[in-house]
Structure formats: C-alpha cells, structure tokens
Amino acid sequence: VVLNWYDVSYGYAQWLPTTALGGQRLKGIWHTGLVAFGKEYWYGGRVLSSEPGNAPFPPGPVRSTHLGYTLRTRDELEDFLRYELVPRYTREKYDVLNHNCNHFSDEAAGFLVQGCHIPDEALMQQEAVMSAPLLEKLRPYLNNWLSGFEASGSDADIDDLMPEWRARLWPGDLALFAPPGNHHEPLLLVQVSNINTWKGTCDITYFESAGSRSDVHL
C-alpha cells in the first residue's frame, strides 16, 4: 500500500510568505491518493480510481510513501469504498480544510493496514494554516476546484467499477425473490435487512397470503 503525494500548488507553496499562512512554511499543498492492487484511489468530489501516478495534478506525484502491506483483497477494499466511503465523500461534503482527499486516504489506509495513518504532514496540514488569511480567501475557490473532478480517460468512478454493484441491495430495499429449487411458485416481494457484504448473506422478510410474516436468513 503506497501513498502518492501531489503538490496542487505546483511548487509555489514554498515561496508563499509565512505571514499569509499564519506563520507556517509549507513544502507543498498536498493532494494524496492511495495505491493498492494496481490502482490509485482518491477523492476529488467523488471517489475515483486511476492508474497509479495519473491523478490530474501535473507533473505527477512528487513523492511516494510506503505505508505497509495489506491482508485485504481488492473486492474487500472496493466494497468498503462503495458502502462506507462513497456515501460520505461526495462533492457536497468536500471541504479543503475539514473533509478532503487526505482524510479519504487516511480512512482507506486504515482499512487496508490495521492501525495505519497517513503522515501528519498531509493529514494535519490544514490545522497548521486554518487561521491563515490567505487560505480563508482561497477556500471557496479551492473547494470548487478540488471537488469538481469527474471520471475521464482511464479514470473510473468507484461507484461504477463493477457493474454488478448497480444490482446490489441496501437495507430496507424491496426486491423480488425466487425461493431456491421452486421454479413454479410466483416470486415473493421481500424486504431486505442485515446485509453482510463480506459473507454474502442477508435477511429477508415477506408476508404470506394469509397475512402471516416470515423471516428468512440467506
């Protein structure tokens, strides 16, 4: 598992006067992406994946940090992203100070490598300059720019990485269910609950024609 660092200031951050940055000197303004299983996962208003090193911040990563090794599988990672992070990492929720790409990288890294956090230089940089007058003026512009990426070229929206995700159910959804081995009975309208994506199991509830309720674990 590797963390790629991109300087979205294109090298200019180190030349900014410290008076404009709350007395701090920055080496860069960091966007990070997490590399695992041959893909780089990152947040830019959507959760996206691209070829490692190909996030849209030329000239590419200025450094890479090895975070450790994972016992997870790619399917487990993408399930975690799809069900846990995608709903929380949206364009509307992006904030360059409090909810950005580095927070995403940190959560994904912690899932892949137990107890892992990305370096404070990236994760905590917003705290160092939070009160800087220049950053407050640039904040709306940065939020609009850094939250506006779409999947293009070789990039993929994590929500579309696997077509079968579109058919997956959420707790509370209604679905038509065909009882196994019974091909002549009509389909049942069921409500889904207690979905366990890791084990591939769920509970369903349906009502018999007589009005009695049945609960089944699949």
- Rounded Cα–Cα distance for residues 176 and 181 (Å): 15
- The answer to whether residues 158 and 39 touch, using CB atoms and an 8 Å cutoff, is no
Known catalytic residue at 101:
yes
- Rounded Cα–Cα distance for residues 97 and 103 (Å): 10
Q: In what order do the strands lie in the sheet with 201-207?
A: 174-177, 188-196, 201-207, 213-217
Classify strands 174-177 and 188-196 as parallel, antiparallel or unpaired: antiparallel
Among 99, 101, 103, 202, the active-site one is 101
Known catalytic residue at 31:
yes
- Rounded Cα–Cα distance for residues 101 and 57 (Å): 13
Q: Which DSSP category does 56 fall into?
A: S
Element containing residue 180 per DSSP (H, E):
none
**Cis, bond preceding 59 (omega within 30 deg of 0):** yes
Catalytic residue numbers read: 31, 101
